[in-house]
Structure 1
Amino acid sequence: MKRPSLLVGASVATVALAPHLAGQDLAKTRQTAIVTAASRLAPAVVSVNVLRRERQLPQDPFDLFFMPRGSEQVVEGYGSGFIISPDGVVITNQHVTQGAEQIVVTTREGRDFAAKILGEDPLTDIAVLKVDGSGLPTAPLGKSTDLLIGEWVVAVGNPFAYLLGNTEPTVTAGVVSAVGRNLLPSQGQSGIYVGMIQTDAPINPGNSGGPLANAVGEVVGVNSSIFTSSGGSVGIGFAIPIERALRVADELRRFGKVRRAWVGLDVAGAEDLRGWKRVGGLRVTQVAAGGPAGRAGLAAGDVLVSARGRRLRTFLDWEAVMLDTGPGDTLTVSFRHGGESRSARLAVTDFPT
């Protein structure tokens, strides 16, 4: 007769413990990879606020008569960035800092730092800032070369800056939609957006310059641009690969400019975007006498098939390779010469002036 009472007692104990165990399980399920990635990265993400002068354009017929010629106005802009060294080196987009007369970097805790520009590169759309600080949190850096289509990524930044009421960065999540995306240049565009990471993680105005990170919180790209008809995110955003951003940042810090790679050849341009379907690669249009390509045996009329393991179809593919190559590197190319398949190693030099 005692056994039933023992069983009943055990059942009561189980019921009493069940809510506590269920709460623990729920807490564990909420701690997803995205939560972990965001918490690891967010402390190093900053808001970049700039003041610049822009020429004031007439808004109505009266302005044509009463506005002084050459009138300028102070315009406020904003973007995002991330800290890469404890002493306050920040990476952001060059289109965020372009023409800035004053830059203030604001941390997650709301601390404001006056920032100076260490260097800007309009071609790659990367700028490097410096604030006076020590012991600042830094962003974990990863790599973009092994990204998988469909893997989770998070975009962290400060869309609309102070309009959201505090300095806590905004986190959005999505997947890697594509890699190696080339965007055709638009009118007035100074940057070349090639070899980009495409994501559907929402990227909005003010996210420019912020990090795109993988599911373990490592930065794999710098958010830079979106395709949109409304001005907001429509699920097609692009990030600059982190390897390119870090190489450019290093060049700017060491030399104050970015040294351009040169191998002494020109390729077919925008007029021949579909030519690769006909010839099976990218046509060489000109080779500089005595240059690296000429010394390696390339000639006008040859067809480039690949470079650094990347398939070449249009001039944008070639631009992506050259942007990620620097003086002193060796560039391995595969090409066809007179119907014969060949390969060559080109000694990359600085662009001649």
Structure 2
Amino acid sequence: MKRTNWSVRRVAVVVSAAAMAMMLWSSAALAADGAEAYQALQDRIEKVADDLGRSVVSIQTKSKVSQQPLDWDSDLWDMLPDQWRRRLPQPRRQAPRQDDGELVPQGIGSGVIISADGYILTNQHVVREAAEVEVVLSDKRRFKATVVGQDPRSDLAVLKVEATELPAATLNGAADVRRGLFVLAVGSPFGFGADGQASVSFGIVSGTRRRLALGMEDEDRFYGKLIQTDAAINPGNSGGPLCTLDGKVIGINVAIASRGGGSQGVGFAIPIDEATLDIVQRLKKGKEIEYGYLGVEIRDPQPAESETAGAPVGKGAFVSSVVPGSPADKAGILPADLIVEMDGKPVPDADDLVARVGMTPVGGTIEMVLYRSGEKKTVKATVVRRDPAKIAMGGGGGDDDGPAPAGSFEWRGLTLQDLTRALRQEAGLDDSVQGVYVTRVDEKSKAHESGLRAGMVINQVASQKVTDLETLKAIGKKLKGAVFVNVVGQGPMIVGE
């Protein structure tokens, strides 16, 4: 028995040793495989960074500022509150100058070369209102760029530099983008790419079809569904590419969600889908991008609203309001209708309907299926051209909508109207705020030179409070020369005649 036990023990030791050797061999093999995988990933990132980096440019813009101080009455200075006087220059007079104004730095951004003959894609907000645009290539050459086309609604712009044989990137359809996909964000954060070496950050696609939070889209802009990434995106990255490890550009970096203005792991990019590619091609040809307009205010439906309408829960676009005289009004669409289908294809949410109507050719007819109080209906509407100025004033989108609604007032290059509840919500103001809403600014006016823009709210002119249009009309008739206006949330500005 003792000999048998000893034999068993010896066999057990041999088996244990063999198992340990197998484990050590497996660990070594796994470590080797891991090292190879790591090195392969490292090599791929370096290659894409080098290859795509040659196609990325740094953008620097300049704007014009007037060199002639406005001539205004010093008596007005004495009436200003102390906090205003601390922020504004004292009154002075100066002989008129003949130059058009000095060019001063305005902003920075990024862009990506999309053709060898010098076309560059970037964000519209990077070059908006720029008097001069300069791009720096990866070989450190600097070029003055021409803005060939720009579209505020999609936030896309195409530039042109006089150069040839440039390294162009490949714009790829973003249909296959999915969560977890490795990506690189390439650009010129804080202007660091101006030395010719684009900055690169690495991450993954954190989400798809993301909607920006309320207030992150300005003016008449509509991003639709964006790509979310944790690759670091900072100020200056706007307009740069988001690409896969194959080097294909799947998005144009556009925004960050941050409390302090820097990267916090939540960035967004405009997907390079068919609609985006179509816009880019039109902008390259210098064409204005026209968007279809229906004339409804819509949002995603609540479950109770879907049930009341008799529609499937969680699908479609709920109609909050209909603009009088708009294509939707003429088609018989009513508030509380729930649109679930357009031209034979389902409408999953409100953003989908906005995007599809927008891409419908002006004058085209669309057919929609909707639910109303348990009944299913089919309606047809003829799409008109979207006109942001008319929409802001409460009108429809096209030239056939007739004159703008009564109630607007023209004053010193500004088109103004009373501050309604809807406009307060658009401007992010509560019901206690009074004033008049700026719906349009003549680009040749002194008001535009001073920085006044559509969407601002004026609550004081000179030393008098402005509560509505009637107040402004009474004040405006008496004022001569340059005057101060107070803009809610921004402070005083000077407006000349």
> Equivalent residue for 1:103?
133
Gaps of 5+ in 1: 1-20
Q: Provide TM-score, normalisation by structure 2.
A: 0.56
Supply the RMSD in Å over aligned alpha carbons. Answer: 3.9
Pair 1:149-2:160 in alignment: no
1:104 Cα offset (Å) = 1.0
1:232 Cα offset (Å) = 0.8
1:337 Cα offset (Å) = 4.6
Farther off after superposition, 150-159 or 242-251: 242-251
> Equivalent residue for 1:159?
189
Q: Is the 8 A contact 2:148 2:286 kept in 1?
A: no
Q: Is the 8 A contact 2:147 2:157 kept in 1?
A: yes
> Equivalent residue for 2:54?
43
For 1:53, which of 61, 64, 89 is the aligned residue?
64
1:134 Cα offset (Å) = 1.2
Matches for 1:5-16 after TM superposition, within 5 Å: none
Deviations 1:143-169 (A, max 9, x none): 1222111211111111122x4672111
The code of the aligned residue for 1:282 comes to A
Pair 1:249-2:280 in alignment: yes
> Equivalent residue for 1:234?
264
Pair 1:65-2:81 in alignment: no
Q: Is the 8 A contact 2:148 2:284 kept in 1?
A: yes
Q: Is the 8 A contact 2:190 2:235 kept in 1?
A: yes
1:276 Cα offset (Å) = 5.8
> Equivalent residue for 1:311?
348
1:88 Cα offset (Å) = 0.7
Q: Is the 8 A contact 2:57 2:193 kept in 1?
A: no
Matched residue SS, 2:131: strand
For 1:123, which of 153, 161, 174 is the aligned residue?
153
Q: Is the 8 A contact 1:153 1:173 kept in 2?
A: yes
Name the CA distance, whole Å, in 2 between partners of 1:95 and 1:241. 17
Matched residue SS, 1:248: helix
1:201 Cα offset (Å) = 0.9
More strand by share: 1
Q: Provide TM-score, normalisation by structure 1.
A: 0.76
Name the CA distance, whole Å, in 2 between partners of 1:349 and 1:153. 39
1:67 Cα offset (Å) = 7.8
Q: Is the 8 A contact 1:203 1:233 kept in 2?
A: yes
Which protein has greater RCO, CA pairs closer than 8 Å, 6+ apart? 1
Cα separation, partners in 2 of 1:196 and 1:26, compared to 1, 3 Å: closer
Deviations 1:288-335 (A, max 9, x none): 88958967x8666431125555511x4x44334444555488867553
Name the CA distance, whole Å, in 1 between partners of 2:317 and 2:123. 30
Name the CA distance, whole Å, in 2 between partners of 1:83 and 1:27. 30
1:249 Cα offset (Å) = 2.3
Name the CA distance, whole Å, in 2 between partners of 1:322 and 1:177. 28
1:92 Cα offset (Å) = 0.5
Gaps of 5+ in 2: 1-31, 68-82, 95-100, 307-312, 387-397, 400-497
Name the CA distance, whole Å, in 1 between partners of 2:236 and 2:93. 32
Q: Is the 8 A contact 2:61 2:133 kept in 1?
A: yes
> Equivalent residue for 1:177?
206
1:256 Cα offset (Å) = 2.9
> Equivalent residue for 2:252?
222
Pair 1:286-2:322 in alignment: yes
Name the CA distance, whole Å, in 2 between partners of 1:324 and 1:85. 25
Matched residue SS, 1:145: helix
> Equivalent residue for 1:339?
374
Matched residue SS, 2:179: coil
Cα separation, partners in 2 of 1:268 and 1:29, compared to 1, 3 Å: closer
Name the CA distance, whole Å, in 2 between partners of 1:216 and 1:290. 46
Identity of aligned residues (%): 32
Cα separation, partners in 2 of 1:294 and 1:32, compared to 1, 3 Å: farther
Cα separation, partners in 2 of 1:119 and 1:63, compared to 1, 3 Å: same
Q: Is the 8 A contact 2:339 2:347 kept in 1?
A: no
